[in-house]
Amino acid sequence: MINQDQITLAQATDPWGNPVASDEESSLLMQQDSSVLDPWGQSSSEPIPPQDSVATAGSWLDGIEQAPEVQNTLAEPFAAPWFDMRAIINDFVAVVVRQTRDFFDITKQPVEWVLDFFAWLLSSGLHPLIFILLFALLCWQLSGWKLAIGAVVGLVFLGAMNVWDEAMITLALVLSALFFCLIIGIPLGILMSKSDRFAGFLRPVLDAMQTTPAFVYLVPVVMLFGIGRIPGVIVTIIFSVPPLIRLTNLGIRQVPDDLVEASRSFGASARQILWRVQLPLATPTIMAGVNQALMLSLSMVVIASMIAVPGLGLMVLRGIGRLDVGLATVGGLAIVILAILLDRMTQSLGREARERGTRHWYQTGPIGWSLSLLQTLKSK
């Protein structure tokens, strides 16, 4: 037994240590320690497995049964894929990217030049007030004074919401895409109208392009061109050009055959018939295609914000990601204003002379007013 003097001496030697306990106290502390070490209440009489046996016991994941391999049967012929289409597409895209990287880098250059020009013109080349004035005059010339007033109000409202820069970037993207849609779509539409074989070949391609979801276009474009504003314009061109091709083909084919035959009987060549008979009569239908391409370009520019395309679409995407309703609403409202103005302008371009009330386009609007004023001054 340990007397009190030994306990006092031990405490003086090790003041931070535990006091020396008696045999009964030591056995009680051992029982308490075992209960702490085994909080689940297992008896201490159970043998503790050796460390080697625990290490060699294996993981608990080994006890899980593996999922059986699914095989096609006569009762369920489509339970498993017949071939790995995903792997085929991934391998094909990888080969195309490696072999054609330089070609697609060269392809991006014209798009970049056109986009840089429009971006400079709308963002740095023109003062906002000068741009509003010129845009209002253009709306007056093409559609009328009511749209001109609406354009002034709408553009001033965009500047008041502090989204002028984003709106000009979006407008530059849309105009760049529309420029290439016109270069690609109208010639292909003319070729479709002249050749039934070419039309039969191109029609399934256009069907696939128009039925493919918009988000699917982003995948190959990102793989081939990367991310940013240039790939955004390219995916917008691919998404927007099919309606223009179809409506150009439709407009030319709807020209009455008797007019074509009368022109041919008077000695007109095929080129003269195309430029002086077919295209003027097909202009309303072609302009409907331009209108559709413009609206699709504006919608795709918003979707293309997912691949880091700047502008109003990126504002909407950030608002959705941050649950900022105000930011998303401001961006959406600015897109709606631009869409209304551009839609009304392109619709007025497709109007016939009878609807305008004049024979030539320059007889209305500010140009017509200026010409009439000059004639009045000359008569005096």
User: pTM higher than 0.85 for the full model?
Assistant: no
Q: Is the pLDDT confidence value at 335 over 70?
A: yes
| Closest of 160, 104, 142, 196 to residue 342, by C-alpha | 142
Note the residue count of the chain.
380
Look at residue 13 in the predicted model and tell me its pLDDT: 46
CB burial readout 233-271, b (16+ within 10 A) else e: bbbbbbbbbbbbbbbbbbbbbebeeeebeebeeeebeee
Q: Is the pLDDT confidence value at 4 over 60?
A: no
pLDDT, tens digit, 9 for 90 and up, residues 285-313: 999 999 999 999 998 988 899 988 899 99
| Alpha-carbon gap, residue 73 to 76, rounded angstroms | 5
Domain boundaries in the chain? 107-353
The proportion of the chain whose per-residue pLDDT surpasses 70, expressed as a percent, equals: 79
Close Cβ partners of 23 (under 8 Å, ≥ 6 residues apart): 1
Q: What is the dihedral of CA 334, 337, 342, 343, to 10 degrees?
A: 130
Residue 78 token pair: 């489509």
343-347 own/partner pairs: CB under 8 Å, 24+ apart: 343/291, 343/294, 343/295, 344/139, 344/143, 344/147, 344/150, 345/138, 345/139, 345/142, 345/143, 345/147, 346/287, 346/290, 346/291, 346/294, 347/143, 347/287, 347/291
Contact status, residue 313 vs residue 303, Cβ threshold 8 Å: yes
Average pLDDT, the chain: 82
Look at residue 37 in the predicted model and tell me its pLDDT: 44
pLDDT, tens digit, 9 for 90 and up, residues 225-237: 888 899 999 999 9
User: What confidence tier does 282 reach under pLDDT thresholds 50, 70, 90?
Assistant: very high
Q: Is the pLDDT confidence value at 1 over 80?
A: no
pLDDT, tens digit, 9 for 90 and up, residues 338-364: 999 999 988 887 765 556 666 666 677
Select the CATH number that applies to the domain covering 107-353 from these four: 3.30.360.10, 1.10.3720.10, 3.40.50.300, 3.40.1160.10.
1.10.3720.10
Average pLDDT for 367-378 = 81
| More confident position, 94 or 20 | 94
Look at residue 81 in the predicted model and tell me its pLDDT: 83
| Closest of 302, 290, 345 to residue 154, by C-alpha | 345
Average pLDDT for 178-188 = 95
Tokens 């000009």 map to which residue?
A: 168
Query: Which amino acid is located at 199 in the chain?
Result: A
